[in-house]
Amino acid sequence: MNLCRGSSTVVHDPTSVHRSIARCHDAGASAHARAMDLATRAELLEQGWTARQLTAAVRAGTLIRARRGWYVPSSAAQEVVEAARVGGLVGCLSLLRLMGIFVLSKPVLHVHMQRGASRMRSPQKRRRRLETRAKRGIVLHWHALVYEPSRGRVSVADALIHSVRCQPARHAIATIDSAVNKGLITAEQLADVFAALPERYRVLHALVDGRAESGPETLVRLMVRSLGCSVELQVEFDGVGFVDLVVDGWLVIECDSRLFHSEWSDQLKDYRRDMALAQQGYLVLRLTAEDIMYAPGNVLAAIRGVLRSSRGTERG
């Protein structure tokens, strides 16, 4: 697609539209970032588009006019489109979920708004005002940002700051662990996250552990800590490989998800790993991610029961 200044021929295919919008920002952005591209009318005109071509692309469905003067490619994440329609940036739990970071809460749209912003619109229809009743399905964030936002979204660090306020503490730690594990936030940025939060939240910083490879692992780690037990993450055993958690040096806890344990071949491998661990004197407790996330009381009771049964038994 030729989008040089003064070009008169434009082929409105989705890829070329996306490339054009990407040129307005960082051409080397990640796939996650490209799914959140936004461009203003002025930027696209600067790229060589004409008003007629913009209208034609919108009618062809390759470009979306999210809000007056704001455009996104048709391939953009729906949350980005809806946040732009409201008049803000996608942020908090909505952004983190789009980035592949663990989020447990239900998918409600989180939008960052600039202070003093007005003329908010419905996330579904750009010409309809955002009524009070409609706000029930949206969380609006008005806190000042720590980092300069990208076009269409806040920074990961700012999304994490807001996420701590929007979740129970243990869920927030699981979200932050996930971001650290994926390399989406640095130690310096993490320090900024907690520095920007009220003092009552800063105690959570010491509980962050980026070694956790899944949200459920973090949730179980926090349960075990609440019982006063020691816990190690991602421990390697000869002939077995890495296990999720080792509690008090003898109890191995594995957090299984359907993604990696649904096939019989996967389950057979798990059974053989458990047998190898038993031969080395370890007891294995397998928990499902679904139970960890949605039936934590049952999981905590199971862990407590296993630990209680070990009392009076010498292990070495």
- All domains of the chain in start order, with CATH: 14-74 (no CATH), 85-207 (no CATH), 215-309 (3.40.960.10)
Q: Which of 59-68, 115-124, 186-195 has the lowest mean pLDDT?
A: 115-124
Strand ordering across the sheet containing 283-288: 231-237, 241-247, 251-256, 283-288
Cα dihedral 71, 95, 24, 54, rounded to 10, equals: -10
pTM, whole model, 2 decimals?
A: 0.84
Give the model's pLDDT for residue 10: 47
In this predicted model, what pLDDT tens digit does every residue of 221-254 receive, in sequence order? Answer: 999 999 999 999 999 999 999 999 999 999 999 9
Which positions ≥6 away from 33 have C-beta within 8 Å? Answer: 26, 150, 153
Other residues' Cβ atoms within 10 Å of the Cβ of residue 65: 18
Confidence at 309, pLDDT banded by 50, 70, 90: confident
State the chain's mean pLDDT as an integer. 85
pLDDT surpassing 90 at residue 32: no
- pLDDT(306) > 90: yes
Query: pLDDT tens digit string along 134-187?
Result: 566 789 999 999 999 988 899 999 999 999 999 999 999 999 999 999 999 999
Q: What does the alpha-carbon distance between residue 13 and residue 67 come to, in Å, rounded to a whole number?
A: 21
User: What tokens appear for 178 in the block?
Assistant: 């996930």
**150 DSSP 8-state letter:** B
- C-alpha 223/C-alpha 240 separation (Å) is 25
Q: Are 290 and 255 in contact (CB under 8 A)?
A: no
pLDDT band, very low/low/confident/very high, at 265 (cuts 50, 70, 90): confident
